[in-house]
Amino acid sequence: MVESHRLKISVRRSRSDRRRPKPRSDDAFFRVATGAVAAVIILLAAAIAFELVAHSRLSIEKFGFRFWTGKVWDPVSGEFGAFPFVWGTLYSSFLALLVASPVAIGIAVFISELAPGVLRRPLTFLTELLAAIPSIVYGLWGVFVLVPLVRRLETGMPESLRKLSLFSGPPVGVGMLAAAAILAIMVIPFSSAVAREVLRAVPASQREAAYALGATRFEAIRAVLYHGRTGVVGALLLGLGRALGETMAVTMVIGNNPRAALSLFAPQHTMAAVIANEFTEAADQLYLDALVEIGLVLFVVTLAVNALSRLLIWSLERRLRAIPAAAEPAAASTVEAA
């Protein structure tokens, strides 16, 4: 009896082995080739970091970590600190994200959920067209339109508010507020386009289930946003990455003053702007290496922000997967109680 059972098992194994497709050489080559292409991205990032470190060696040896925290940028005396540029980059980018996020989500919701078919295609085309406009064009628009508007806002503000550190500064129009506004305008098309595709990818069964439970249009859209919240957050963080590296438009409206300040009206500076403005003016090797180290700092800050955004998205996905797992025991206990 035992021998016959073992014979049946061996026959089944031999049949399954015959049915299993054998690995082909072209499959192995395809796997290796695609893996090599993916490895190029890692090698490219490592090569960029290596070159930035190698060409900023003098600045790293002289200032060390003090370069990150130093607040003085004086090429004449050979004193360089990157803190005003790090502050200006992060401050302007997060202000832009704060302004652009509700607008981008609103555009994505309207196009994907509310817009009639006649308007959906033109609005989609216009949104993508805004994303394709060069940054220098945004900068020119900011100089001739946005900066005068900010100047009028500054001069028309009550003196009691201008005494606050958040609104202090010369009424010249160029400054942090103008830079954050121009960045928000540039970020909105990117974030809204990705968020729109995320909402369109939500299954129609989610909407139908909400309506079947008696939900209103607003409640159904809120359910769709909840279902696609991970992708929406990813779209907003993609816009943040776009804002961190913006150069020309910000350079034209931020004022280019290497001082860190809380004021929205004070002229300030960013890392990308200082490299674009002063790279051709570097008179000695230490000055040039300091500018390259600014690029290294921008590289590290961008990687850190992207890593944090990936952790945020990962945590959201983990919570989303944990909700059905937590609901199953509760449903089972309800059935047992009944």
How would DSSP label each residue in 63-115? HTTHHHH----BTTTTB---HHHHHHHHHHHHHHHHHHHHHHHHHHHIIIIIS
Half-sphere exposure of 131 (CA within 13 A, CB side): 18
**pLDDT value of position 3:** 52
Cβ neighbour number for residue 64 with a 10 Å cutoff: 9
Dihedral sign for Cα atoms in the order 326, 328, 330, 333: negative
CA distance 104 to 197: 12
Say what the alpha-carbon torsion angle 168, 171, 174, 176 is, to the nearest 10 degrees. Answer: 20
Do residues 268 and 175 make contact, with C-beta atoms less than 8 angstroms apart? yes
**pLDDT value of position 12:** 55
Phi, psi for 74 (deg, rounded to 5):
-130, 95
CA distance 221 to 295: 42
**pLDDT value of position 330:** 44
**pLDDT value of position 44:** 92
**pLDDT value of position 242:** 85
The architecture of the domain spanning 53-320 is Orthogonal Bundle (1.10)
CA distance 231 to 197: 9
Query: Tokens 């290596």 identify what position?
Result: 50
Each residue's pLDDT, cut to its tens digit, for the chain (338 residues) gives: 445 545 455 545 555 555 555 556 667 888 888 888 888 988 998 999 999 999 999 999 998 888 888 899 988 888 999 999 999 999 999 999 999 999 999 999 999 888 888 888 888 888 888 888 899 999 999 999 999 999 999 888 888 888 888 888 888 889 999 999 999 999 999 899 889 988 888 888 888 888 888 888 888 999 888 888 888 888 888 888 888 888 889 999 999 999 999 999 999 999 999 999 988 888 889 999 999 999 999 998 888 888 887 777 777 677 666 655 544 444 444 445 54
**Residue 108: burial class (beta carbons within 10 Å; 0-12, 13-18, 19+):** buried
Do residues 267 and 255 make contact, with C-beta atoms less than 8 angstroms apart? yes
Three-class secondary structure assignment of 190-221: HHHHHHHHHHHCCCHHHHHHHHHCCCCHHHHH
Q: How much is the pTM?
A: 0.81
**pLDDT value of position 2:** 45
CA distances from 272 to 69, 229, 245, 254, 267 (A): 18, 31, 6, 12, 15
Computed on alpha carbons and rounded to an integer, the radius of gyration of the chain in Å comes to: 28
CA distance 72 to 318: 44
Question: For the chain, which residues make up each domain, given as ranges?
Answer: 53-320
